[in-house]
Structure 1
Amino acid sequence: MAFQVRPPWLLLLHFIAVIFILPAMASLPAPPSPPATVFDDNYVVAYGGDGYHMINQGTEIRLTMDRSSGAGFRSKLAYGSGFFHMRIKVPAGYTAGVVTAYYVASEPERDVQDEVDFEFLGDTDGNPTTLQTNVFVNGHGDREQRLRLWFDPAADFHDYAILWNPSHLVMFVDGTPVRVLKNLTSRGPEYEFPAKPMRARGSVWDGSDWATDGGRSKVDWGRAPFTAGYQGFGVAACAVATAGDTAARCGSPDLWWNGDGYKSLTAAQQAAYESVRRNLTYDYCTDKSKRNPAPSECSFT
Structure 2
Amino acid sequence: MAFPQQKFLLLCFVICSSLLSSVSSRGAVYQPPNVERLTDRFPTMPITQGMTTLFGASNIHLKNNGSFVDIVLDKTSGSGLISKNKYYHGFFSAAIKLPKGFTSGVVLAFYMSNSDEFPHNHDEIDFELLGHAKRRQWVLQTNMYGNGSVRTGREEKVYLWFDPTQQFHQYTILWNSHHIVFLVDNIPVREVINNQAISSVYPSKPMSLYATIWDASDWATDGGKYPVNYNYAPFVASLGELKLEGCITKNTISPTAAECSKNATRPSSDMVEGANYARLSKQQMAGLNWVRRKHMFYSYCKDTKRYKTLPAECNAR
TM range (shorter): 0.7 to 0.9
Q: Which has the larger radius of gyration?
A: 2
Unaligned runs of 5+ in 2: 1-21, 262-267
For residues 157 and 50 of structure 2, the distance between their equivalents in structure 1, rounded to whole angstroms, comes to: 30
Q: Deviations over 1:18-59 (max 9, x none)?
A: 1xx333x2xx26355433421121110001112xx1101211
SS in structure 1 of the partner of residue 201 of structure 2: coil
Q: Deviations over 1:237-279 (max 9, x none)?
A: 1101213443444776981111101100111111211111122
Whether the 8 Å CA contact 1:55–1:63 is kept in 2: the answer is yes
More helix by share: 2
For residues 45 and 199 of structure 1, the distance between their equivalents in structure 2, rounded to whole angstroms, comes to: 13
SS in structure 2 of the partner of residue 161 of structure 1: strand
Report the alpha carbon displacement of residue 292 of structure 1 after superposing the two structures with TM: 2.5
Q: 2:38 aligns with which of 7, 23, 30?
A: 30
1:39 aligns with 2:47: yes
Residue of structure 1 in register with 2:79 after alignment: 71
Q: Between Structure 1 and Structure 2, how many residues are aligned?
A: 284
For residues 133 and 29 of structure 1, the distance between their equivalents in structure 2, rounded to whole angstroms, comes to: 21
For residues 256 and 298 of structure 2, the distance between their equivalents in structure 1, rounded to whole angstroms, comes to: 33
Alignment of 1:40-55 (within 5 A): 40-50=48-58, 53-55=59-61
Residue of structure 1 in register with 2:146 after alignment: 137
Whether the 8 Å CA contact 2:102–2:132 is kept in 1: the answer is yes
Q: 2:107 aligns with which of 77, 99, 103?
A: 99
SS in structure 2 of the partner of residue 63 of structure 1: strand
After the TM superposition, which segments of 4 or more aligned residues of structure 1 sit over 6 Å from their partners?
6-9, 250-254
Q: Label 1:143 to 1:249 Cα distance change in 2 as closer, same or farther (>3 A).
A: farther
Unaligned runs of 5+ in 1: 1-5
Residue of structure 2 in register with 1:166 after alignment: 177
Taking every aligned residue pair, what percent have the same amino acid on both sides?
33
Q: Deviations over 1:178-222 (max 9, x none)?
A: 1111111xx367752101100111000000011111110010011
Length-normalised TM-score, structure 2: 0.83
SS in structure 1 of the partner of residue 228 of structure 2: coil
- Aligned partner letter, 1:257: V
Residue of structure 2 in register with 1:255 after alignment: 270
For residues 39 and 56 of structure 2, the distance between their equivalents in structure 1, rounded to whole angstroms, comes to: 33
